[in-house]
Structure 1
Amino acid sequence: MTSASPAGRREQLRDFLRTCRARLTPDDVGIATAGRRRTPGLRREEVASLAGVGVSWYTWLEQGRDINVSAEVLDAVSRALRLTEPERAHLYLLAGLNPPADTARARDSGVTTELRNLLDTWSPRPAILRDRAWNLLAINDATRTVFGYDDTDHNCLVSFFSNARYRSMHAHWESVAPAVVAAFRADAAHFPDDPDFGRVVDELGATSPEFAELWARHEVGAPVQAVKAVHHPEVGDLIFDTTTLVVADQPAWYLELYNPRPGSGTDEPLARLTRSPAPA
């Protein structure tokens, strides 16, 4: 939808708002009426009143005129029209704004059985489910065995700096650390109002001088970990390709899947380490 021309988006915005207004009745929103109404649904002035905006402004919005809109006003219109979360996001896109992430829904929703089964099925290869602030939501047993995570680990970045076992196994920890911090800063910049990023920074800033020094550089970079190398104390070097996928119904969640890098000789020691047949 965002690839459509501005004129095309405004035309779709007009039709979308009219449709949403027409499907509501005064009773649905608690408006008392008298006599018969010539048209179904709410009137424009009723939607404007419910949203707390001017009738002329709402009329211009519904007509698809080229006007400036704010997130606050779009949220008010969404509430007035009783839009669902997908419809609210659609309204944002048609109005030319990036829809806000539905963080409340993501935080309140538990990890589904299907996702946990996927993580477990990925074993003996490591798999991680995290949120956008790199908080760990779920991991499989292979992640614990291969990367040294345990039940005290709650955030990928915090573990990168504070988990002694993980650090000791990371083959290139010192050279990779600046890129990891730069990638976290780039992610944080997309969500300036999300307090989770601030909590991670505050926690690490108070406990890790290394992180504090790197964070003070204000370096910004692209996501890293396309290749992850560890030196496991039991089986030696393990090298993985990393694939990160967005969970469709939880766009603030990311699934990181680790696969033995072809030609690296990782399959056999990984199978010995996890006591499973080598992955096909």
Structure 2
Amino acid sequence: MTSEPGPRGQRRRDQLRDFLRTRRARLSPEDVGMPTAGRRRRPGLRREEVAVLAGVRVSWYTWLEQGRAINVSAQVLDAIAGALRLTEPERAHLYLLAGLNPPRAEGGRDDRVPAAMRGLLDAWSPRPALLRDRYWNVLATNEAARVVFGDGDDDHNCLTAFFTNPRYRGVPAHWTSAAPAVVAAFRADAAHAPGDPGFGRVVDELGAVSPEFAALWARHDVGVPGPAVIAVRHPDAGELSFDKTTLVPADRPDRYVVLYLPVPGTGTGDRLDRLVPPPA
């Protein structure tokens, strides 16, 4: 736990105390496979039982639950989360109350795209839209995105496309000015999960085929992902410019909806309407 001084730090420690007490009170020894010993004045697990389950000293857990300003590691918080049978949102809440950044939720890769999400992408047509994961791998696109960017729903990656797709490279001045910011944004995303092999795989594979990416990655620049202008050269429609906005679904914070709007005054909207007729 970080020793944040003043009233704000005390409020956080008070919330941590109450949170741990309520999580402990909702469990019984039977819930966690422990024998019930004697009569209990209060429902729930005792502090010493939580300490045993988490593998920490009773005195240390008592200090934590009392809201004292003590040092705590991510490993210990994970052990306490397991002992108290916390859900992923509760585990993240525990980290925040302890003054640490919550880790990304672990689990098997799930690339399934709900029908409602596919419907959202399709409804955005004739403007391009796509769904990507944390590694910038494309999970789904609408028809406009496939026509404009020339890719599909196969195993693909937005960063790799930016460096290898000739449609992006077809607007050299824009590409050259945008490339450092694109790489810096990817590094900022990767920084949230140091050592994650998914990010490392993208970097290694792209670095092997793109010296330009390798050189920019070696600069260690970090930027804030945000709205950007994307320009491509379509073989039939010519240069197309889009304002790109990324949204995060509340129920899937590891998914990102990327929406593209024609930049006003560039003629992109008119050419896009001819290229991808809106649904009847």
Q: AA paired with 2:138?
A: L
1:23 Cα deviation from its structure 2 partner: 0.8
Q: AA paired with 1:114?
A: A
Aligned to 2:255: 253
1:56 aligns with 2:59: yes
2:159 is aligned, of 157, 160, 164, to 157
Q: Tell me, in whole angstroms, the C-alpha distance in 1 between the residues paired with 2:52 and 2:27.
A: 15
Aligned to 2:19: 16
**Cα deviations by residue, 1:100-151 (Å, 9 ceiling, x for unpaired):** 111426x336221111111111111111211222111211111110111234
1:174 Cα deviation from its structure 2 partner: 2.6
Verify the 8 A CA contact 2:24 2:44 in the aligned structure 1. yes
Q: Tell me, in whole angstroms, the C-alpha distance in 1 between the residues paired with 2:147 and 2:62.
A: 60
Aligned to 2:186: 184
Quick one: structure 1 residues 262 and 91, their matched pair in 2 at CA, closer, same or farther if it must change by over 3 Å? same
Q: Tell me, in whole angstroms, the C-alpha distance in 1 between the residues paired with 2:221 and 2:146.
A: 30
Q: Tell me, in whole angstroms, the C-alpha distance in 2 between the residues paired with 1:16 and 1:100.
A: 19
2:36 aligned counterpart, secondary structure: coil
1:53 aligned counterpart, secondary structure: coil
Q: Tell me, in whole angstroms, the C-alpha distance in 1 between the residues paired with 2:201 and 2:9.
A: 38
Aligned to 1:138: 140
TM-score by length of 1: 0.91
Aligned to 2:213: 211
1:16 Cα deviation from its structure 2 partner: 0.8
1:87 aligns with 2:90: yes
Name the stretch that deviates more: 28-37 or 47-56: 28-37
Quick one: structure 1 residues 46 and 65, their matched pair in 2 at CA, closer, same or farther if it must change by over 3 Å? same
Quick one: structure 1 residues 236 and 199, their matched pair in 2 at CA, closer, same or farther if it must change by over 3 Å? same
1:111 is aligned, of 113, 131, 135, to 113
Name the stretch that deviates more: 259-268 or 37-46: 259-268
Q: Tell me, in whole angstroms, the C-alpha distance in 2 between the residues paired with 1:152 and 1:33.
A: 55
Aligned to 2:49: 46
Quick one: structure 1 residues 190 and 165, their matched pair in 2 at CA, closer, same or farther if it must change by over 3 Å? same
Quick one: structure 1 residues 246 and 224, their matched pair in 2 at CA, closer, same or farther if it must change by over 3 Å? closer
Aligned to 2:81: 78
Aligned to 2:4: none
**Cα deviations by residue, 1:203-237 (Å, 9 ceiling, x for unpaired):** 01112222222222333333366112222221223
Quick one: structure 1 residues 247 and 233, their matched pair in 2 at CA, closer, same or farther if it must change by over 3 Å? same
Structure 2 stretches lacking a partner, 5+ long: 1-6
1:273 Cα deviation from its structure 2 partner: 0.2
Q: Tell me, in whole angstroms, the C-alpha distance in 1 between the residues paired with 2:87 and 2:81.
A: 8
Q: AA paired with 1:63?
A: Q
Aligned to 1:200: 202
Q: Tell me, in whole angstroms, the C-alpha distance in 1 between the residues paired with 2:81 and 2:36.
A: 22
Verify the 8 A CA contact 1:238 1:266 in the aligned structure 2. yes
Q: Tell me, in whole angstroms, the C-alpha distance in 2 between the residues paired with 1:216 and 1:20.
A: 45
2:156 aligned counterpart, secondary structure: coil
